[in-house]
Chain A
């Protein structure tokens, strides 16, 4: 077969995985295909304009912004090596993070899942007092907790998904997760009924105490939650690695 002939199908994403690999091997050595592929890709790039315009739901933008800010929050909390540089501080984020710790810890205290010391979540007397107030607020407003059980190969791993009532975000508490290599991260998945898992953020686990991870989307509408081990620093878009914990979301 003449691999040159695959150039248009490659530009159009119309090759099988095997053909695609074959063409990419050819492309690396070919004198003419790179230039033709570049030209064809330009044309392919304008094909979406021919589709009749349809406005997406307004809520999609909020989901997107929640997604990227949630990811950033998780990265800032756990400082994943090799990830994006730390974002510029935004005024609302520190408060959000403090609140996240407060609500999550409140739920844990209420259900006695773990004996988290409040002092592990704060680093000064002043913030400890603020934390206490937020715990009280969170308890007053209520939250539901969905335990996620460790799979048999993940040792003492346990987690809980915390959904404060009436909030657009949720929290994940993790404890006892196994050590993983520096090239891997933990990734949370929220799974709607009959739909593919939705990536909900990546994090590392320091292995010394329970940790709180912010999830900038509500748990409503999802049936299951799971954490898997995925390639770092950004995780993946579909689960590929072993499950660590999994459980049904009860709201």
Chain B
């Protein structure tokens, strides 16, 4: 019989205590989504490796500032990965944005409902939810998140007013949330 799996929160606590083994387990657990995201954004294996390494080093150094009530360790890590990949991508265009994660922002805590939803998500579930979005919203999300374009660049590329891009982004994220919550809720649960 196998050992019960150590929770992500326990791994972060271990990393906070400078336990390299905890970092190794955390890395093994999330190396694939982290690397895949970087490769998608950067299109270059060397750069993707650099960003993944930097992101996990960031987790190692900043584990003390992680707030469990704010996000899951997975979301936290992947946010760091995305921020750093975007930074590298825009630095290539000679216009670094200097994106840094700001965990000091006065935001409400993550709800238990969402935490439950997130814990059951798979790649296929998220892809299905994305496919359910109207084309223009999905394309806007794709350009912003997976390709790293700014809202202004997207407006130029799609030849629509900036306000339309803003609206599409907002609608897309809210719809995605509703869709994922709907997929995860058992029938009759309200």
Q: Which residues of A contact B (CB under 8 A)?
A: 5-9, 11-17, 19-20, 24, 27-28, 34-35, 37-57, 60-61, 63-65, 67-69, 71-72, 84-85, 87-88, 90, 195-196, 198, 234, 237-238
For B28, list chain A residues within 8 Å (CB).
61
Residues B169 and A12 in contact, CB atoms below 8 Å apart: yes
Would you give 28 A-B contacts (Cβ < 8 Å), ordered by A?
A9-B151, A12-B141, A14-B149, A17-B97, A27-B106, A28-B106, A34-B108, A37-B107, A39-B174, A40-B173, A42-B114, A42-B118, A45-B78, A47-B141, A48-B81, A49-B126, A53-B33, A54-B36, A56-B32, A56-B48, A57-B45, A63-B49, A68-B20, A88-B18, A88-B19, A198-B50, A234-B61, A237-B84
Q: Which of B25-57 contact A (CB under 8 A)?
A: 27-28, 31-37, 39-40, 45-46, 48-50, 52-54, 56-57
List A contacts of B56 (CB < 8 A): 64, 68
Quick check: is B10 within 8 A (CB to CB) of the other chain?
no
Picked from B32, B39, B83, B176, the residue with its CB within 8 Å of the CB of A13 is B83
Q: Which residue of B lies closest to A40 (CB)?
A: B173
CB-defined contacts of B146 to chain A, threshold 8 Å: 47, 51
Contact of B53 among A14, A42, A44, A63 (CB under 8 A): A63
Residues of A within 8 A of B78 (CB): 45, 48
* A interface majority secondary structure: helix
Closest to B56 in A: A64
Please name the residue on chain B nearest to A28 by beta carbon: B106
A61 B24 Cβ-Cβ under 8 A = yes
Q: Which residues of A contact B37 (CB under 8 A)?
A: 48, 51
Question: What residues of chain B lie closer than 8 Å to A6, measured between beta carbons?
Answer: 166
CB closest chain-B residue, reference A13: B86
CB distance from B180 to the nearest CB of A (A): 7
A14 touches B151 (CB 8 A): yes
Known: A12-B144, A16-B97. 17 other contacts (CB 8 A): A12-B173, A14-B149, A17-B98, A37-B105, A40-B173, A41-B107, A45-B78, A49-B126, A50-B126, A52-B36, A61-B27, A64-B52, A65-B24, A84-B64, A85-B18, A90-B20, A198-B50
